Structure 1
Amino acid sequence: MAEAHQAVAFQFTITPEGIDLQLSYQALNQIYLSGVRSWKKRVSRLRNRVIKGVYPASPSSWLFVVIAILATMYMRSDPSMGLITKIQQHLPLRYTETQEPLYTMLSVLVFSTLLWLSLILALRFCLKLLLSYHQWMFEQHGRVSNTTKVWVTLLRLLSSRKPLLYSYQTSLPILPVPAIKETLSRYLESVRPLLTDPGYKRMTELANQFESNLGNRLQRYLKLKALWATNYVSDWWEEYIYLRSRGPIMVNSNYYGMDFLYVTPTALQAARAGNTITALLLYRRKVNREELKPSRVPGTVIPLCAAQCERMFNTTRTPGVETDVLQHWQDSEFVAVYHKGRFFRLWVYTAGRLLSPREIEHQIQRILDDPSPPQPGEEKLGALTAGDRVPWSQMRKQYFSSGINKRSLDSIERAAFFVTLDDEEQGMRGEDPAGNLDRYAKSILHGKCYDRWFDKSFSIVIYKNGKSGLNAEHSWADAPTVAHLWEFTLATDAFQLGYSEDGHCKGEVDRSLPLPQRLVWDIPSEVQTLVCSSLAVAQALADDVDCHVFPFRDFGKGRIKKLKISPDAFIQISLQLAYYRDRGGFCLTYEASMTRLFREGRTETVRSCSNESCAFVKCDLVLQEAEQCRHLFRLASERHQNLYRMAMTGAGIDRHLFCLYVVSKYLGVDSPFLKEVLSEPWRLSTSQTPVQQMELFDLKNYPDFISLGGGFGPVADDGYGVSYIIVGEDMINFHVSSKYSCSQTVSKTSENRKIMLFLTSYSISNSLAYFH
């Protein structure tokens, strides 16, 4: 309620004796403190710009260069080889002989600064060259070449200073454009196990025709973009894959993250909300101050691009007729809260300070205790973000562009993030823990289709029994970035902020805090009609989605790594075996890999269904000779690891072909080859949720505080969406989604809907058996 305090900061009345001026010192003090906080932020951002602008050097190194130059000048040696004298002669100032030492000093400062900037550019260039070296990734474990050893030493030397979050951004290499011949060759190899001989021959002819005619022309345009743009893929990927989609983003695009599997830190809804909101805001503070350590390739000093963190908070996706737009605000001092059909704006700062967890709990409890009913049309307003984008865009422009509706909508869209206080209980509980876990996943993925704001960068869900969850919009960032945020939030909530013995947040409460502000709406009948229509579309989509969460506890990466096999490759090959047992054939398989070794990199596709993995599956089902299967499994694992490495180092297939297709559309030319490639359905879409901050979780002393990870909806109507997280050494959590409407994905009844996971479990165990 900062605007209310400012409105009464001063009052005056005119009396016969003159003007009576009354000041509210408390309000003025809050205004002053808010201003101080704002200026501190500006100073901090300016300081960070300077520090990361000179990285890998430091601002203090300038003084070292100046002193070194002055010392050599004092010893009557000119390290500038006459440049200092020339600088002095060209200074646009006149001076006398008595002032000459002063101007000599000024010339030294100018020369030292130029020398210092040149050294910084040289160091940056060297760092960029070092980060462009990727051969280390293709070397066998334990057989490191001398070149790689020297490279690691040099990289450690240049990265010895403690970097800020964005310190490496300008030193990261640019994503290269692969040679079109190599991309087409790798594509044909990837589809070979999926096509008959005549089909493969036809596809080969299409590829050759494309390469000899249109392909090289499109490639030239793409190389031109790569020279001009920071990343030749990311902006088109964001726009055409996400923002231009006109269908619902709920289920189809948004994904979810879950709470701890076995424990709930507190059963009090308001208390859990208090700590969760505090932890998220502490993370935002670290992002703003760039105090987070840059993400790195696990087990190495190699940095990953941090550009996706920039739009994590204060961001929303606004609908448009042809394309949506991502809007980001610099900072927000409030969050938007939804409870029982009502929207609230909750200020999380007062007098320039962040509210304590106990104070936020107090404010949340006020919302929970508020008995006021929803305004007409308010309860299900969020369904507009769950339905088709074009109607939402039209309604937004017509009815939410002015007046109280605009002010209320701005309060949601400009909020740091969105919070839903759900009136249901969720989690692995009761007499049917497995079934409740599945319902928990569905609830976070889509809820009631109107009690989430799916356009926000992310929404937090706090359930009645204290369980929590996260729903994230996909266009601004990929799952590893959100997973990093969610890991920090869970760990900070449980292990740093903590709770009192009675389950409340810790700290004191300032009970004079203003009430959370109810958002006011004027929803006409036309909007209410569209809300019902959008809700019907979203509800049909939500009802068709089947989610199953499966904690696999037989073994984990510990036993797999003892066999000297990549755990990810092991799981992917097992999924191929499970799919073949389920469907009797192979399919185009998508595994998400990241390209964040490059500046503004996002994802690339690993086509996990390879000739080698198919050979193993057929051997397992037909020959079942242990030695032969073991050999084929190792070949398939090595092939998968190589495909993953190639995707990470910019030699993938799908993003290159996608960008060639975009160029062809801009030029107004059709390519039968590209059209067929991009229309192929991904019936098995998979992704691993990385565990990036294990140092935050003490699993030895608190073994029950393990994460469930998260999941997403199926990409194809007749396919599966499979997400998995490798937790610790002895557990793998799976999230599998499919559609009830497709009989082929065995989602018709509650009895056979777990067949895919059973086959996955069986296949993983069966794969391991070959090595005993």
Structure 2
Amino acid sequence: MNTSQAPEAAVTTFSQEDSLPRVPLPTLEASCERFLAWCAPLLSAGEMAATEAEVAAFLRPGGPGRVLHRALEEYDATDGVHSWLDTFWPYRYLGRRDRIALNANFFFLFRDTDEDQVERAAGLVAGALHYKSRLDQESIPPVTRRGRPQSMAQNTYLFSTTRIPGADLDTVRSPYSEAWPGPSDARHIVVFFRGAAFRLDVLGADGVPHSLDDLRAGLRAVMEAGAEPPAPDTSVGHLTTMARAQWAAARQSLLARHPRNGEALDTIETALFCVCLEDFAPPDTQTACDELLYGDRGNRWFDKAVSFVVFADGRAGINVEHCELDGTTILSFTDALLSTPADEHARRSKARTQGPPVPRPVTFDLDDTLRSQVRSAADAFARYGKDTATSTVSFEDFGADTAKALGVSPDAFVQVAYQLAHQRAKGHLGATYESIATRQYRHGRTEAMRVVTPETVAFVTAMGDPAADAATRRTAFLAAAERHVARANECQAGQAPEQHLWELELIQRRRGAGLGVSEQPALYRSPGWLKMRDDYLSTSSAPSANIQYFGFGSTSPRCIGVAYVLLPTRFHLYLSTPRPVAPQMHAFAAELRRAITELRDLLAPGT
């Protein structure tokens, strides 16, 4: 990160990174103790006993846990290592071998405006270019949360960043790296329309952005050039929906086929970001969300870090590749874009008229085999999308202010409500994941929180007990909410077991033979580990007045993904799950409405 040009005393975008505290590395004993506490509510007595036995074996002197943890301590103390999670994150995200489209990428649906498609798209481009100019100059102040500066390291992956598929492990091509020092010097974006891709230079030779009028004219020229869709089975973006090893092999075939393909890939991979112009308007909000999550028609490059999607009616959103970017960073980015008018972005970035940028087609040379792969990838992903059930749920009469007025943490209120709704919809509780931001640490990202506690179980039990009176239920709810807040605070403080124990498992996979731990420790096959991480609900929040909905795919065959926007006066959710779980998902949505109403009544003064 380039801070040499800024005065030493100035608080520039990255100037506080090295002074942020390191992510705490819990002791092995603490993580094992917390692990047993976290999984206990999900286990039978026999399963708990079996898990306790495996934890004891893991912890024994000279046992595998001791060896692996010692290796992690040594890594954490190594020069140049920012965090003991530095290797964990690449293996967690870049090591996944299934498709990232729908499974890993996430989206935001932006608030509506009265702009038409071209005007909206041009405004988003202008806003993003302004943000980049500020980032390059390091004039974006570090985000603070409760007075504490947050890591800004993820901002280096916003522009010209692309995930590159690999046979065993993906990589990331990005600026601010050894291969590409400093900010991106790319001047172009890639615009998709009707499955065709076009390079559009949006910065002049001197790095100054084109004016809004130039951008609008350039985007219209793209739509004119792409009026006729490309030949069938030539929209290479479809290949980015494949499982990673398959896509890696197809990419190698592209490179071997013709030098033009390497040039085309280079154009896409180095582009500042993508803009996906759709030639249709979704009939409703849920369809707009679905299109943002897994819309395709060859009109996406899912490996690109940032892709703006703009529909024919001017509605818009963003699809994000998750490996280096979390929701909190994208929220700050999109809030900066959407809270300032486009013409003001253009003025502040010193954009000027330079003549409309001329779109240049990005084309690939394909043989019959590659065309067949494009076709099969398109068909397979279309089926996968149809096999996904989704739903939007909107509460216009409930929000964070409602929960606060009732004396409860808003996040705790809705998370406990999720548990009650899940119990009623499915007849049981199940492992629930909640993402907790930890960007107050150096290169911090998120921590995995498990929501089900003994207090949650007691509350749900009380709600199902006809003999329990309102006072009993109220006391049980408040205890569950209080415990939720306490656990979230522990996670924010880095005192959580899952990622610590998971990284120990990954160390065994990577280095076990050399460390004398040649076999996976049995703890990772114990009922507690398997049940705690078998998500029935996977939850994450994105609070911003600039977005309507936030969404992602489910994480397992039985999981319901719960992405929620909880604002002072409204509460919006996007649910997703595999098609066989659709009836339970819809039941969950209905029971959530009932639960929110019941809990408001339960906590209302005088009840």
TM-score by length of 2: 0.91
Q: Does 1:255 align with 2:99?
A: no
Amino acid at match of 1:304: Q
CA distance in 1, matches of 2:200, 2:346: 22
SS of equivalent residue, structure 1 residue 756: helix
Matches within 5 A, 1:25-64: 48-49=3-4, 51=6, 54=8, 58=9
Q: Does 1:664 align with 2:500?
A: no
Deviation sequence 1:390-414 (CA, Å, 0-9, x none): 2221221232255111111211111
Tell me if structure 1 keeps the 8 A contact 2:430–2:536. yes
Q: Match for 2:224 among 348, 362, 369?
A: 369
Partner of 1:11: none
CA distance in 2, matches of 1:406, 1:559: 55
Tell me if structure 1 keeps the 8 A contact 2:130–2:346. no
Deviation sequence 1:664-704 (CA, Å, 0-9, x none): 2221332111244654411110011133xx7xxxxxxxxxx
Larger Rg: 1
SS of equivalent residue, structure 2 residue 495: coil
Matches within 5 A, 1:35-434: 48-49=3-4, 51=6, 54=8, 58=9, 163-212=11-60, 213-228=63-78, 230-260=81-111, 263-266=112-115, 268-297=116-145, 300-329=146-175, 330-352=184-206, 353-370=208-225, 373-376=228-231, 379-400=234-255, 403-426=259-282
CA distance in 2, matches of 1:639, 1:592: 16
Deviation sequence 1:177-201 (CA, Å, 0-9, x none): 1111111111111112111111111
Partner of 2:591: 759
**Two-structure CA RMSD over aligned residues (Å):** 2.2
Deviation sequence 1:120-161 (CA, Å, 0-9, x none): xxxxxxxxxxxxxxxxxxxxxxxxxxxxxxxxxxxxxxxxxx
CA distance in 1, matches of 2:422, 2:498: 22
CA distance in 1, matches of 2:263, 2:307: 20
SS of equivalent residue, structure 1 residue 477: coil
Partner of 2:515: none
CA distance in 2, matches of 1:450, 1:351: 30
Q: Does 1:771 align with 2:593?
A: no
CA distance in 2, matches of 1:344, 1:326: 22
Tell me if structure 2 keeps the 8 A contact 1:219–1:660. yes
Q: How many residues align?
A: 579
Q: Does 1:734 align with 2:573?
A: yes
Q: 1:165, CA displacement in angstroms?
A: 1.2
Identity of matched residues, %: 26
CA gap 1:371/1:653 in 2 versus in 1, 3 angstroms? closer
Partner of 1:504: none
Q: 1:726, CA displacement in angstroms?
A: 1.5
CA distance in 2, matches of 1:579, 1:289: 48
Amino acid at match of 1:765: T
Deviation sequence 1:742-772 (CA, Å, 0-9, x none): 3xx416xxxxx63322211211221121112
SS of equivalent residue, structure 1 residue 453: coil
CA distance in 2, matches of 1:551, 1:233: 40
Structure 1 gaps of 5+ residues are: 1-44, 59-161, 430-435, 500-506, 695-705, 748-752
Structure 2 gaps of 5+ residues are: 176-183, 513-517
TM-score by length of 1: 0.72
CA distance in 1, matches of 2:395, 2:346: 29
Matches within 5 A, 1:716-735: 716-727=556-567, 729-735=568-574
Amino acid at match of 1:649: A
Q: Does 1:674 align with 2:516?
A: no
Which stretch shifts more, 395-404 or 276-285? Answer: 395-404
Partner of 1:459: 307
CA gap 1:269/1:609 in 2 versus in 1, 3 angstroms? same
SS of equivalent residue, structure 1 residue 395: helix
Tell me if structure 2 keeps the 8 A contact 1:316–1:457. yes
Runs of 4+ in 1 over 6 A off after TM superposition: none
Amino acid at match of 1:368: M
Deviation sequence 1:722-741 (CA, Å, 0-9, x none): 011122x2111111111113
CA distance in 1, matches of 2:140, 2:330: 14
SS of equivalent residue, structure 2 residue 603: coil
Q: 1:586, CA displacement in angstroms?
A: 0.9
CA gap 1:611/1:339 in 2 versus in 1, 3 angstroms? same
CA distance in 2, matches of 1:395, 1:736: 32
Q: Match for 1:524 among 367, 383, 406?
A: 367
SS of equivalent residue, structure 1 residue 492: coil
CA gap 1:380/1:442 in 2 versus in 1, 3 angstroms? same
